[in-house]
Structure 1
Amino acid sequence: MMGALEGRTVLVTGAARGVGRAIAEACAEAGARLVLADVLEEQGRATAAGLLARFVRVDLADPDSIAVMADDIARHEGDLHGLVNNAAIATGIGGPEYDAIEIGSWDRVMQVNVRGTWLVTRACGPMLCASGSGRVVNLASDTALWGAPRLLAYVASKGAVISMTRSLAREMGPRGVGVTAVAPGILRNEATDYVPAERHRLYETGRAAPGPMTPEDIAPTIVFLLTPGALALTGQLLPVNAGFVFT
């Protein structure tokens, strides 16, 4: 999608590695002016340098850190057309059952995945609205659509992100901002090396188009959702998972 994001400034959170890095690479190829944010500063700066992007450290568990990030973008870039809320915590696929989850672990996932997504959107909202064609893409998960077991905190957090997307679409739509959610399944990358082999097999044999998926497989959809022409899809959830789950 060469040139699809030409002249548009895009912020990608959790961009240091994995899915976020692949999204950032696709946005760069599409011509976006990129800001990458992550708590992993060394990796984030290396990724940004390779894409001629700017890096800003952010901790989604810290509201002050999020506010500083938004102020930094307002000072340096001056505008913002796209936000990809990718940063999140996964508690471990095949982890403890619902009655063995530690409260601290549950709270940490909700703090980052749900509250963090809201706070980043809130902090960047004025710039997105001012752009006249702002776009927000929230990374959900198809685990929230089929109720993946032994992953309850993560599944609940991504279900909240899906619901949040719909409310935000109605609140921000009158100001020209489109808000969508993308729900991938398990992707093959360094962040999922720990996933039990049987869970990978479940996905890779259960997809309508069988086989593994990588972060690069979902990135083009996200690039499109960041374009001015994607406003008609606002509020929608796209399960980009090769047909493992249909909606």
Structure 2
Amino acid sequence: MRDALKGRRVLVTGGARGLGAAFVTALAKQRARVAFGDVLHAEGEALARSLREAGHEAHFIALDLADPSSIEACVAASVQTLGGIDGLINNAAITNSGGKSAEELTPATWDAVMNVNVRGAWLMSVACLPHLAESGRGSIVNIASDTALWGAPKLLAYVASKGAVIAMTRSLAREFGGRNVTVNAIAPGLTEVEATAYVPAERHEYYLKGRALMRAQVPDDVNGPVLFLLSDAARFVTGQLLPVNGGFAMN
């Protein structure tokens, strides 16, 4: 797939670290033109600077998915910087509910997770839609989670939000298909990134032993499927969920 995304204008949410940073880096190395948003300003600026110093195009834009006005501003800035948007990766998400049972979970935590993970992805998709349609090859990739496939315990708000992202992907695919915009979802397993450092060792071990491919999952395992769904090779693929978890949960 070398240069399959050359010149493609892609916006990534939550791109300052973790899987998001891996997507940004992989896209930049594919010679795509990348804009990415995050609430982590220092990390985002540092990543964009390092990629530019390596000869790639990457632009950091402040983004708070809990704030609808920030979403609109991020999309407008991305369009102004890139000249349009061909692809969107809805990656940004928060957990917040990790380690708490359904009985311990508070409405405030539930609402915060849903506002970012579900409402934020919906509003970002809608804000990008006119530009994706105008490109003639618009693609949205929603980052869900395999926790929604097997029902991870003590993670209810996050699991419910990712289940909603999967369902939303199918509905948006139906709505956006008439404008030649594809919408698909990736469901990664537990991946070795900064955001999963807090996950107890026994959960990592549970994943490792339960996978058909019995090794740790790393960001590069997810990059390929995401890049494929953004490429012209996937123009007739829409409304689909692709679990990328080494066979821990099978769809």
TM-score (norm 1): 0.97
Q: Is the 8 A contact 2:97 2:157 kept in 1?
A: no
Contact 2:97 2:156 (8 Å CA) reproduced: no
Give me the whole-angstrom Cα distance separating, in 2, the residues matched to 1:146 and 1:16.
28
Per-residue CA deviations over 1:87-144 (Å, capped at 9, x if unaligned) read 0001254x11101101111100000000000011111111001000000000000000
Q: How far apart, in 1, do the equivalents of 2:32 and 2:160 lie?
A: 32
Give 1:16-31 correspondences, 5 Å limit.
Answer: 16-31=16-31
* Cα displacement string for residues 205-234 of structure 1 (whole angstroms, at most 9, x for unaligned residues): 100111100112111110111012212221
Secondary structure of 1:100's partner?
coil
The residue that corresponds to 1:101 in the other structure is 105
1:216 aligns with 2:220: yes
Query: Which amino acid is 1:39 matched to?
Result: V
Equivalence for 1:114: 118
For residues 34-75 of structure 1, the C-alpha deviation after alignment (integer angstroms, 9 at most, x for no partner) is 101111111001111122211100000000010111111222
Is 1:205 the counterpart of 2:205 in the alignment?
no
**Is contact 1:92-1:195 (8 Å) kept?**
no
Gaps of 5+ in 1: none
Question: What is the correspondence of 1:4-153 to structure 2 with a 5 Å cutoff?
Answer: 4-52=4-52, 53-93=58-98, 95-153=99-157
Which secondary structure does the structure 2 equivalent of 1:99 belong to?
A: coil
Aligned length: 246
Relative CO higher for 1 or 2, CA cutoff 8 Å, sep ≥ 6?
1
Equivalent position amino acid for 2:168 in 1: M
In structure 2, the residue corresponding to 1:209 is in which secondary structure?
Answer: coil
**Do the aligned residues in 1 keep the contact of 2:12 with 2:88 (CA within 8 Å)?**
yes
Other-structure match for 1:167: 171
Match of 1:158 in 2: 162
Identity score, percent: 54
CA distance in 2, matches of 1:174, 1:152: 34
Unaligned runs of 5+ in 2: 53-57
Contact 2:148 2:162 in 1 (8 A): yes
- Residues 168-227 of structure 1 show CA distances to partners (whole Å, capped at 9, x for unaligned) of 111111111111000011111221111011110111110011110011211111011101
Residue pair 2:22, 2:223 contacting (<8 A) in 1 also = yes
Q: Which residue of 2 aligns with 1:187?
A: 191
- 8 Å CA contact 1:83–1:137 kept in 2: the answer is yes
Q: 1:227 aligns with which of 225, 231, 234?
A: 231
Tell me if the contact between 2:97 and 2:105 (Cα under 8 Å) persists in the aligned partners: no
